[in-house]
A and B are shown apart, each in its own frame.
Chain A
């Protein structure tokens, strides 16, 4: 009898916790969200700014939980959210959930050698053969360096 009630309490508690929002890193300070679509359309104007974005988590770093890809449900625009390894660890279970992330928007400019290395790694991951002719210029990418996030 006692075992049954303990199991019931545990189950109820886990069900309650399952739907609960989870905080990662620092607490969010901004209230107004910036649409991911707006950032996607004019990334240069957001570089260095602290923004709060909201979207669905479509992918998570499967080895270290050190990044998530957040998508704006309406436009399909996406944003890569990166955290310092170990400081915040996003669980794989975050996929499909809604994330509110606050962070500093960054521009990353790779050298030609780095771009070639990235392309080689990407081909290896996808099981494709790397063709050096496909890399014509150094890569420029943007990401949000997350300070804090809430996922529910």
Chain B
């Protein structure tokens, strides 16, 4: 048609705009992508390790000189084990057991067996924060931003299909790779969920 730009003009503009948007979304969501990737790896292996806390357990027998007959000598018990933490409280947790709280650490005493179990907890704070964001613990305003991120990912996934043309594009290698990426989750669905 006379006066209209050729088809490739629209095509070029569309792809260029898509590239610019894809790039800017990529920059903007760089932080979120890293958070979700790191947390995703951490949470995927939650059965094998604790991604939120580093927990060290020390068990042993109580000093035979300690008398457990009357009120529990908490400070002496803590000292005899070599603990420096200050006691923040204690409670009877079972018929013969007491749980002593030492901040985030805890010391469980079995008065019948005269044994102890000391649990030292250290938070993996950065990873814990990433996991809490990933698992949407904060709710409220965070939901909006993570929804925006999800939509952004969707846009990047779809726009990524159209960034290149030719043999590396959707009609060539890109198409086969995209198909493989779609098929893999479907294979798992058919094998294990149906």
Interface of A with B (CB < 8 Å)?
56, 58-59, 62-64, 69, 71, 73-74, 76, 78, 86, 89, 92-93, 95-96
Contacts and interface: CB of A to CB of B under 8 A. Distances in A.
Contact of A78 (B53, B93, B136): B93
Contacts of B88: 96
Q: Across chains A and B, which 6 residue pairs bring their CB atoms closest together, nearest first?
A: A96-B101, A76-B92, A56-B91, A58-B99, A58-B93, A96-B89
B101 A63 contact: no
A86 B101 CA distance: 26
A63 to B, nearest CB: 5
Interface residues of B, number: 24
Contacts of B137: 89
B52 A62 contact: yes
A86 B104 CA distance: 22
Interface in B76-91: 88-89, 91
Interface of B: 46, 50-53, 55, 88-89, 91-95, 97, 99, 101, 104, 106, 121, 123, 132, 135-137
A58 B137 CA distance: 22
A61 to B, nearest CB: 10
Contacts of A56: 89, 91
A71 B46 contact: no
B193 to A, nearest CB: 18
Contacts of A86: 135-136
Nearest to B123: A92
6 contacts: A69-B93, A74-B92, A76-B97, A89-B132, A95-B101, A96-B99
Contact of B50 (A58, A63, A93, A96): A63
A92 B53 contact: yes
A93 B104 contact: yes
**Most chain A CB neighbours (cut-off 10 Å) among B46, B88, B93:** B93
B94 A76 contact: yes
Contacts of A59: 99
A123 to B, nearest CB: 15
**Most chain B CB neighbours (cut-off 10 Å) among A59, A62, A92, A96:** A96
Given A62-B55, A95-B101, 7 more contacts: A63-B52, A71-B91, A73-B92, A76-B94, A76-B97, A86-B136, A92-B123
